[in-house]
Amino acid sequence: MEKKTKKSVNIELHDWALGDRKGERIARVVKTKSINTDDLVKLVIDRRTEFSASTLKASFELMKNMAIEQIMNGTSVNFGLGHFQLNANGIFNSDNAGWDKDKHNLSVKFSPAKEMKSALNNCEVKVLGKANSSIAINTVTDLVTKQINKCLTPGGGVDISGKRIKIAGDKKEVGMKLLNCDTNEEIPIPGTAIMQNSLSCIKFVVPHNLQTGFYQLVIVSQYTSKGSYLKKPKTYIFPMVFEVA
């Protein structure tokens, strides 16, 4: 019988720039680590030794590719963590209008499965209080698609709003980067791509050769309001995951 493990997460409280009342906070889950398919396979092997890693990974890839094929054929698919359904987006100006890739696009709507909803309801949450980091990002807007906290467009502009997000310091690790959620590869944003760098706003251009995948935004800074740098840089990882298609 598979051993059941306790599910729990920690959350930290951050200043809410859009709040009307003093002292209002928003909560963000403390990220413990980032794992990929190979990591999941290893975790399963550690608990259930009757399956080989190659069998598990091959089976998952077959199911995943078949699910994608069916979704792209207009099929509503219940698979893994939830329910997937294809949506068409954009405005058509007449009954006879055709598909225009510059005006229309397809997207996938995801709804959590019953098991996922149950897990959320049964997950233990511990509030750690106000986050130690003084950096707080509220929104990341992709200026090409106008979407907020959802995606990044290679070669396109991005507008970050928040509190105390200015990048400053003399240590080599200071700066901004994108963290690939699957490979953990760090893609630095060069200083020449940062168009504005202030306490409440950072504007930058996404690398034009950024590969498709899912990324998180990381800021490393030594900024203080006292005019001197922190001895040790602070690292802030924005908890939202951005898709690069």
Ranges of the chain whose pLDDT falls below 50: 1
27-237-175-154 Cα dihedral, nearest 10 degrees: -110
* pTM beyond 0.75: no
Question: Is the CB of residue 189 less than 8 Å from the CB of residue 236?
Answer: no
CA distances from 189 to 36, 171, 198 (A): 24, 16, 16
Tens-place pLDDT, residues 205-230: 999 999 999 999 999 999 988 888 99
Tens-place pLDDT, residues 19-63: 566 778 888 888 777 788 888 999 999 887 688 999 999 999 999
Q: How far apart are the first and last CA of the chain?
A: 40
